[in-house]
A = this chain, B = another copy of it.
Amino acid sequence: MKKTVRHRVPGTSPGAYDIAPVRAVQHAHVEVSDYTATTLTAQSSDIELLDSPQPTSGVRWIHVAGTPSMEVLDKLRKLYGLDPLALEDVVNLGQRPKFNEYQTMLFVTLLIPDHAEAGRFEQLSVFANARTVISFHDGTPGLLDPIRKRLASDSSRMRRNDGCYLLYALIDLGIDHLFPVIDGIGGEISALEAEVLERPRRNALARLHEIRNRLLVYRRTAWATREILSDLFRHLDSSDEDRTYLRPYLQDCHDHIVSVIDLLETHREVATSLVEVYLSLVSNRLNETMRVLTLIATLFIPPTFIVGVYGMNFDRDAGPWSMPELGWPFGYVGVMAFIGVMMVGMLIYFRIKRWI
């Protein structure tokens, strides 16, 4: 249930993206790709690339991998008029997925599940307009490789469309990464379900608790992602530029995220129901244990009292009423027979009551 959000100190000025102290050494890696339907140039690794003039047509995609240096951020801010408030969100990890519409560019922050550590996310921040896309990602290398590969193909739809299509492709990538994670949780729940119904181990509930916490985290992310898509739809409707070609793609994304939410809600309800099943099985087991105890105690405590009676040392010579049974020839056999009958009777009674 850990979540590291780097908060601002209360009262600091908004948009202060330069205050993070952990920035001494940086290893950001800048890649610049210019593409049109027919051409693609991709260069990487040097900050001077940013100064290269953008071709008059086509899209420029600038991707910053790793923690960006102040220099890179400042340069991008100046070149593309990025809003400091948005840049603050780029460097302060642990944001909620969100969408903002700035004057020149759309800004989207996505959380992509970190497959290495359950319940954690990597942040992918994207600025986009028709001509330019700027993305930031500080996490698993290779996350964007499928995008690069599609971009490399001349026949790809990405090459034929503007920067907003690339934005869509990145959002779609983020949503696609949720499915395996949620399937994983579904598998864990199914396994726990089988175990609980079969023979629950002691930590079953702790594991269920942990799974439910994880579901909470993913649910929060999925809902926020859904909001992003709703905001994008609203933006499409009110935008001056005609981007209706995007609508079916975003609709498809929306359908996917709704599926994700559906699955999460189902998993949540199954997990909740499973807790009840578990608790009831524990109760049942207690019941069974107690029944055994009660059976044994009920069967043996009364006979023990009876044999105790004839273990008393009253002086048979004291008078005719002083334990005369001890002298009867069939006293012992009689007592044992009485006890035997009593026990059998009890067993029959328990059988009728269905305790056995």
Q: Which of A272-304 contact B (CB under 8 A)?
A: 273-287, 289-294, 296-298, 300-304
- The contact of A297 among B8, B252, B296, by CB within 8 Å, is B296
In the complex, what residues of B have CB within 8 A of residue A321's CB? Answer: 329-330, 332-333
Of B1, B263, B278, B301, which is within 8 A of A280 by CB? Answer: B278
Q: Is the CB of A206 within 8 A of B197?
A: yes
B312 near A322 with CB under 8 A, answer no
Is B220 a contact of A262 with CB atoms below 8 Å? yes
A150 proximal to B (CB < 8 A): yes
Tell me whether B293 and A298 are in contact (CB under 8 A): yes
Q: Check if A273 sits within 8 Å of B209, measured CB to CB.
A: yes
Q: Check A21 for interface membership: any CB of B closer than 8 A.
A: no
Task: Out of B85, B308, B311, name the residue touching A252 (CB < 8 Å).
Answer: B85
* Contact of B314 with A331 in the complex, beta carbons under 8 Å: yes
| Given A266-B217, A277-B206: A189 in contact with B1 (beta carbons within 8 A) | yes
For A274, the chain B residues whose CB sits under 8 A away are 209
Residue of B nearest to A255 (CB): B98
Q: Which of B145, B176, B273 contacts A7 (CB 8 A)?
A: B176
Closest to A274 in B: B209
Contact for A315 among B13, B277, B301, B327, CB less than 8 A: B327
Q: How many copies does the complex hold?
A: 5
**For residue A279, which residue of chain B has the nearest CB?**
B280
B8 touches A176 (CB 8 A): yes
A247 to chain B, nearest CB (A): 10
**A248 on the B face (CB < 8 A):** yes
Asked if B327 and A312 make an inter-chain contact with CB atoms under 8 angstroms apart, the answer reads no
Chain B hits for A316, CB < 8 A:
315
Residues of B within 8 A of A276 (CB): 205, 209, 275, 279
State A213–B269 Cα separation when bound (angstroms): 8
Within the complex, the shortest CB–CB distance from A185 to chain B, in Å, comes to 11
A258 at the binding interface (Cβ < 8 Å): yes
* Contact (Cβ within 8 A) A270 B14: no
Using A146-B11, A249-B14 as known contacts, say yes or no to A297 and B305 having CB atoms under 8 A apart.
Answer: no
In the complex, A74 has a CB within 8 A of chain B: no
Tell yes or no: A152 within 8 A of B by CB: no
Residues on the B chain within 8 Å of A234, using CB: none
Q: Measured between C-beta atoms, what is the minimum distance from A183 to chain B in Å?
A: 8
Q: Which residues of B contact A145 (CB under 8 A)?
A: 11
Provide a sorted-by-A list of 14 A–B residue pairs whose CB atoms are within 8 angstroms. A1-B193, A7-B183, A10-B177, A10-B180, A14-B249, A199-B354, A213-B270, A216-B269, A308-B308, A311-B313, A313-B323, A313-B326, A318-B329, A320-B329
Residues of A within 8 A of B (CB): 1-3, 5, 7-14, 83, 85, 95-96, 98, 100, 102, 144-147, 149-150, 156-158, 172-173, 176-177, 179-180, 183, 186, 189-190, 193, 197, 199, 202, 205-206, 209, 212-213, 216-217, 220, 224, 248-249, 251-252, 255, 258-259, 262-263, 266, 269-270, 273-287, 289-294, 296-298, 300-305, 307-316, 318-323, 325-333, 335-336, 354-355
The 10 closest A-B pairs by CB, nearest first: A11-B146, A319-B329, A10-B176, A307-B308, A310-B312, A293-B294, A311-B311, A314-B332, A304-B305, A7-B179
